C-alpha cells in the first residue's frame, strides 16, 4: 500500500528558482495538507484542500501556491525560492474533516535553498 | 488560538525501562483530539496513539499509553518496556473536533527526541 507519496525526496535550489512538490495519495481521501517542519518549531500548516478543485491558506502560506486539480494529487509550488523556505515539507491526507479522522503523512521532502 | 508545548527537548531511557514524555496544551474548546506522532530518522510521521477529549478513559496501544488530564490540559505519553526501535522524535499534536477546513489542521508541539540506550 503506497499511502501518501511525495516526490522528490530531496532537492537543492538556488534563490529565485521555482519548483513544484508533488503529493499523491491512493486512499481516496478528500482532505490534503502541506506542512513545513523547521528545527525547534514543529510542523506548521502551509495550505490545505478539502476536496478536488479547492484550496485554502493555512498558517504560513506566503511564498507558496497550491493546486488540487485531481483528488489524488496536491501540488505545492514555490514561484521564487528564498533561503527562508529551506525546510522539510510534509504532505498529509485524511478521509474527511469529520470526527476522529487521522491524518496520514508522506515521508517528507527535504528542500534546501542556497 | 490553540498551542501545544513539549518542555522536554530530549529524553533518554534504558532498554526495557519505562519513560514518560510530557505534553501540555492550551485551548478554549471543550471537544478536541490529541495525538502522539513518532518520527524516526527516516522522517516518516507515524501515528502512535490518539485520545478523544470527551472520553475520560486513557487510550492505550500495546506498550504505549497516555495520561490525559483534561482539567490540567496535560497529555503525557508513557512507553513501557522501551525498545531500540522506539528511538525517534515524538510530537504531541492537537486537533479541533469541529469539522472542516483549517479547523481540521494539526497543531504540533516542538517535539521530544527520545534516545534508547541498550
- Report whether pLDDT(A102) > 80: no
DSSP assignment letter at A99: T
CB A91 within 8 A of CB A75: no
Best of A97, A101, A104, A111 to disrupt the B interface by mutation (most B CBs within 10 Å)? A97
Alpha carbon B14 to its chain's center = 20
Average pLDDT of the residues of chain B? 91
CB A46 within 8 A of CB A64: yes
Q: Per the structure block, which three cell numbers stand in for A25? A: 495519495
Given CB atoms, is A50 within the 8 Å cutoff of chain B?
Answer: yes
Domain segments of chain B: what residues? 3-98+106-112
Interface contact flag, A48 B101, Cβ < 8 Å: yes
Class of domain B3-98+106-112 (CATH, top level): mainly beta
- Report whether pLDDT(B4) > 90: yes
The pLDDT score that the predictor gives to residue B56 is 84
Q: pLDDT (tens digit, 9 = 90+) per residue, B15-72?
A: 999 999 999 999 998 889 999 999 988 788 899 999 999 888 999 999 999 999 999 9
Pairing of strands A42-51, A19-25: unpaired
The alpha carbons of chain B give a radius of gyration, in whole angstroms, of 14
* Complete domains list, chain A, with CATH: 4-113 (2.60.40.10)
The CA angle B58-B74-B115, to the nearest 5 degrees, is 85
Q: Which residue has the cell 478513559?
A: B57
B105: nearest CB among A45, A101, A105: A45
Q: pLDDT (tens digit, 9 = 90+) per residue, A23-73?
A: 999 999 999 999 999 987 789 999 999 899 999 998 899 999 999 999 999
A102: nearest CB among B50, B100, B111: B50
Amino acid at each position: 500500500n503506497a499511502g501518501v507519496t511525495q516526490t522528490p525526496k530531496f532537492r537543492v535550489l538556488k534563490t529565485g528558482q521555482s519548483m513544484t512538490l508533488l503529493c499523491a495519495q491512493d486512499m481516496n481521501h478528500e482532505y490534503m495538507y502541506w506542512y513545513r517542519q523547521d528545527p525547534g518549531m514543529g510542523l506548521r500548516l502551509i495550505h490545505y484542500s478539502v476536496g478536488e478543485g479547492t484550496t485554502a491558506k493555512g498558517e504560513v502560506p506566503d511564498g507558496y501556491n497550491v493546486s488540487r486539480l485531481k483528488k489524488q494529487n496536491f501540488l505545492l509550488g514555490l514561484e521564487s525560492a528564498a533561503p527562508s523556505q529551506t525546510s522539510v515539507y510534509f504532505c498529509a491526507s485524511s478521509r474527511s474533516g469529520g470526527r476522529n479522522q487521522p491524518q496520514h503523512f508522506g515521508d517528507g521532502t527535504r528542500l534546501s535553498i542556497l | 488560538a490553540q498551542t501545544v508545548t513539549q518542555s522536554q527537548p530530549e529524553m533518554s531511557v534504558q532498554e526495557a525501562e519505562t519513560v514518560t514524555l510530557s505534553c501540555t496544551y492550551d485551548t478554549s474548546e471543550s471537544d478536541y483530539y490529541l495525538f502522539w506522532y513518532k518520527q524516526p530518522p527516516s522522517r516518516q510521521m507515524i501515528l502512535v496513539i490518539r485520545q478523544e477529549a470527551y472520553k475520560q478513559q486513557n487510550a492505550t496501544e500495546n506498550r504505549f499509553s497516555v495520561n490525559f488530564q483534561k482539567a490540567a490540559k496535560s497529555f503525557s505519553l508513557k512507553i513501557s518496556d522501551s525498545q531500540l526501535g522506539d528511538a525517534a522524535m515524538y510530537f504531541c499534536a492537537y486537533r479541533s473536533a469541529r469539522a472542516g477546513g483549517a479547523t481540521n489542521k494539526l497543531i504540533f508541539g516542538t517535539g521530544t527526541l527520545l534516545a534508547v540506550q541498550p
